[in-house]
Chains A and B, each alone.
Chain A
Amino acid sequence: MCKGKITETITAKGLTTLDDVRAHTKASASCGSCTGLVEQLMTLTLGDRYNPAAVASMCGCTDLGHDDVRRLIKAKELKTIPAVMQELEWKTSCGCAKCRPALNYYLVCDWPDEYADDYQSRFINERVHANIQKDGTYSVVPRMWGGQTSAKELRAIADVVDRFEIPTVKVTGGQRIDMLGIRKEDLPAVWAELGKAGFVSGHAYAKGLRTVKTCVGSDWCRFGTQDSTGLGVRIEKFMWGSWTPAKVKMAVSGCPRNCAEATCKDVGVICVESGYEIHFAGAAGLDIKGTEVLGLVATEEEVLEHIVALVQMYREQGRYLERIYKWAKRIGYDEVRRQILEDADRRKAYYGRFVHSQKFAQVDPWSERVSGADKHEFRPMATISLEAAQ
């Protein structure tokens, strides 16, 4: 997509909003990393008629931005999607594919013990707990705590791959094994087999805690200063199942050589002789950004308290689909340090709210479905022979 085509389309079609330009030109419409450039072209073409600083509405269904919607959900104690839409005067009768998943997340986060998760408002991956692929098949990633596995687990995976004739097996960037090309109807049976070996969902499809990568740490490495593997497993066991505004990837490295690449993660830990250096707000995707340092703590317990509080702060404040590095930049790295590192009372309050919400979140979705939940998702409604239709 070239510059001339974009400015020409803006003029010819009378476009005035970023969403219009996205719809008509597809520029900035997929990964969004060229959004700044497209906005410059809009300013150039439209002059005062385009204000990039204006608060962007959540979607065409409302004029309210994400922050206002989040604030009003709490202030007005709105606890269902219809209640939000009614009270905040949504312009459509049942929202759209942009606002519904956002509202569902905000309600899950804000009312963990009261809100009934609306699966029809979740993107397909989260609705069926697998990742949709371009041909309509799915991929499945079982959880491997801290990236560790065993002969028993690997054997179970090999058996599943053989039995279901899974065409591709791939090691992921988060130290997991991905099985690709599984038919939707086979998902519950695949999960059942994996479950027998002790596997649970790896949430590779979730706007939630994905993975905690680790290095082998002081167990094996001659440079390891702490048990980075054990700490990574402990963090993952504590935080799995939590929903977040966007995906959360973590890592724990056993020394500053940083083999687990913790300094480009949403949250990372670098072990040192004197304790644990906690990092946050890294990125290694659409943007590449080294982490900011939160601070140094002495014990694993303190690591857990700080990391959990930081993630809870992000869960409560982040805009849907906004990664930690964007949220932290928006509110200020020092503000994160002030609330999480310096204000112990506030940190403990965030920690407490995360722990409360985990009581309702830590249910393995695969075993639920193996036991019969959401049966309709995985079976055709009917199979009609060609003759029957004649």
Chain B
Amino acid sequence: MNAITQSWVEIGVLDDIPRRGARCVRYGEMTIAVFRTADDRVFALEDRCPHQNGPLSQGIVHDGCVTCPLHNWVISLESGEAQGADEGATAAFPVKVEGNSVLLALGEGR
């Protein structure tokens, strides 16, 4: 994590997000997809596939990845990078769970 100051914003509680699913957070013009894995890890990515801007929040979540609903690119939830033979990355945002609250850090993307 870099040293710049981040402001954590509470966006809801963990149970708002289905396991192996995602919810969207609107931030100005941008949509951020907040994912929850089967083992309750939480990740946040800009809701745009690096391939053709597909909404990643609508994809199938498996292990630490999401498969884009438009053309099946597989994107790492942690890094935002395309997996396998595909190349490209979407912005990832720091997100954490405190108690039951989900907090998102905005400002600089990772």
Contacts and interface: CB of A to CB of B under 8 A. Distances in A.
A390 B7 contact: yes
Contacts of A382: 9, 11-12, 25-26
Contacts of A121: 20, 60
Given A134-B52, A389-B107, A381 B34 contact: yes
Interface string B12-31: 10001111110111111001
A4 B50 CA distance: 28
Interface of B: 7, 9, 11-12, 16-21, 23-28, 31, 34, 38-39, 52-55, 58-63, 67, 69-72, 74, 84-86, 104, 106-107
A121 to B, nearest CB: 7
A94 B7 CA distance: 33
27 contacts: A24-B85, A93-B38, A96-B62, A96-B74, A97-B72, A97-B74, A100-B62, A120-B19, A120-B20, A123-B69, A132-B55, A132-B58, A134-B70, A136-B54, A376-B16, A376-B23, A380-B25, A381-B16, A382-B11, A384-B9, A384-B11, A384-B25, A384-B104, A386-B28, A389-B27, A389-B107, A390-B7
B10 to A, nearest CB: 8
A134 B25 CA distance: 20
A389 B106 contact: yes
Contacts of A94: 20, 38, 62-63
A83 B106 CA distance: 40
Q: Point out which of B24, B27, B85 has the most chain A C-beta atoms below 10 A from its C-beta.
A: B85
B24 A380 contact: yes
Nearest to B86: A23
Interface in A246-263: none
Interface string A107-133: 000000000000011011000100010
Contacts of B86: 23
A335 B62 CA distance: 39
Contacts of A97: 59-60, 62, 67, 72, 74
A388 B9 contact: yes
Interface of A: 23-24, 30, 92-97, 100-101, 120-121, 123-124, 128, 132, 134, 136, 376, 380-386, 388-390
Contacts of A100: 60, 62
B62 A383 contact: no
B71 to A, nearest CB: 8
Contacts of A390: 7
B63 A92 contact: yes
A192 B17 CA distance: 25
A23 B53 CA distance: 19
Given A100-B60, A123-B60, A384-B26, 7 more contacts: A120-B19, A120-B20, A120-B60, A124-B69, A132-B58, A376-B16, A376-B17
Contacts of B25: 380-384
Nearest to A92: B63
Contact of A124 (B26, B27, B58): B58
A388 B105 CA distance: 11
B60 A381 contact: no
A97 B63 CA distance: 11
A334 B70 CA distance: 38
